[in-house]
Amino acid sequence: MNAQALVRYNGVARTLHWVIAIGIIIDITLGLGHDAMKDMFPVMPTHKAIGITILALSLFRLLWRVIHSAPPLPATMAGWQIGLAHGLHWLFYFMMIAVPMSGWIMSSAGQYPLEWFGLFDIPKWPVTKDSPLAEAAHEAHELMGKLFIPLIILHVGAALYHHLLLKDDVARRML
Ligand code: HEM
Ligand code: HEM
């Protein structure tokens, strides 16, 4: 395919993709490493504030995606590959909302205040400590937070496979 025929994701979609991706990678690192890093800076308040930002941006991104369709994939891709790519993308959209939402619900039941980088308070959901909802949110947050890791590896692997081996335009659509 020649370079002129390349249709990229629009600028808003590309910017949101990379800002959210970086935010998620930072939040996974802070979430899993909070014990090791806790003497350096307020790890969990930062984790929570970044997570709430990811939630807000992801809700906007999902709306944007529903309104603007994705650029076409190469005609050479098999139906199962397209199905797998779309399935993983929609799973990502679900997790970009469900992971921070479960963290927010779980943390609403905790004793610590919720605030956005010390600038304003984030309201708490009416959830009580040890309630089934708070416990389910906690379980879901830990499980899905960790599930992000193999899925991101799969996603990055697929992007590199397209770019380096197949040498098609799939990855350049997001650059
Ligand atoms: C996309 C955003 C987020 C990601 C990827 C993420 C990921 C993670 C991960 C991987 C862990 C460690 C789980 C474990 O040790 O098993 C964690 C822990 C935690 N997260 Fe998040 N998180 C996000 C957003 C949030 C938000 C918005 C809040 C609250 C407002 C939050 C609150 C917490 C808390 C309190 C823990 C510690 C749980 C514990 O150790 O018992 N997270 N997060
Ligand atoms: C870390 C968390 C990440 C998440 C949650 C994520 C999520 C997504 C989603 C949902 C899409 C589909 C966009 C749409 O059709 O609306 C997408 C596309 C894409 N992502 Fe990521 N991404 C992440 C990281 C990365 C990284 C690190 C790379 C770098 C290799 C990457 C490369 C791409 C490419 C090339 C596309 C376009 C491919 C296509 O449309 O099939 N992503 N990503």
Given a contact cutoff of 8 angstroms between Cβ atoms, the answer to whether 63 and 93 are in contact is no
pLDDT at 3: 46
Q: Compute the distance between CA of residue 145 and CA of residue 105 in angstroms, rounded to an integer.
A: 14
Q: How far is the CA of 119 from the centre of ligand 2 (A)?
A: 31
N residues, the chain: 175
Q: Is residue 32 scored above 60 in pLDDT?
A: yes
pLDDT digits 0-9 by tens, 87-103: 999 999 999 999 999 99
- Structural tokens at position 41: 């800076």
Confidence of residue 122 (pLDDT cuts 50, 70, 90): very high
How much is the mean pLDDT over the chain?
95
The mean pLDDT value for 47-68 works out to 98
C-alpha distances out from residue 50 to 44, 102, 125, 134, Å: 10, 14, 18, 21
Q: How far is the CA of 17 from the centre of ligand 2 (A)?
A: 7
We report the CATH number of the domain holding residue 72 as: 1.20.950.20
Given a contact cutoff of 8 angstroms between Cβ atoms, the answer to whether 101 and 55 are in contact is yes
Q: Is residue 1 scored above 60 in pLDDT?
A: no
Confidence of residue 79 (pLDDT cuts 50, 70, 90): very high
Q: How many domains are there within the chain?
A: 1
The mean pLDDT value for 17-28 works out to 98
Question: Can you list the positions of beta strands (E) in the chain?
Answer: 115-116, 120-121
Q: List the one residue out of 173, 157, 28, 14 whose CA is nearest residue 95.
A: 28
Full residue range of the structural domain in which residue 166 is found? 3-174
Given a contact cutoff of 8 angstroms between Cβ atoms, the answer to whether 173 and 7 are in contact is yes
Confidence of residue 6 (pLDDT cuts 50, 70, 90): confident
Q: How far is the CA of 49 from the centre of ligand 1 (A)?
A: 11
pLDDT at 5: 73
Quick check: CB of 92 below 6 Å from ligand 1? no
Q: Compute the distance between CA of residue 24 and CA of residue 173 in angstroms, rounded to an integer.
A: 21
The mean pLDDT value for 6-12 works out to 95
Given a contact cutoff of 8 angstroms between Cβ atoms, the answer to whether 13 and 20 are in contact is no
Q: Model pTM?
A: 0.96
Quick check: CB of 100 below 6 Å from ligand 1? yes
Quick check: CB of 38 below 6 Å from ligand 1? no
Given a contact cutoff of 8 angstroms between Cβ atoms, the answer to whether 71 and 173 are in contact is yes
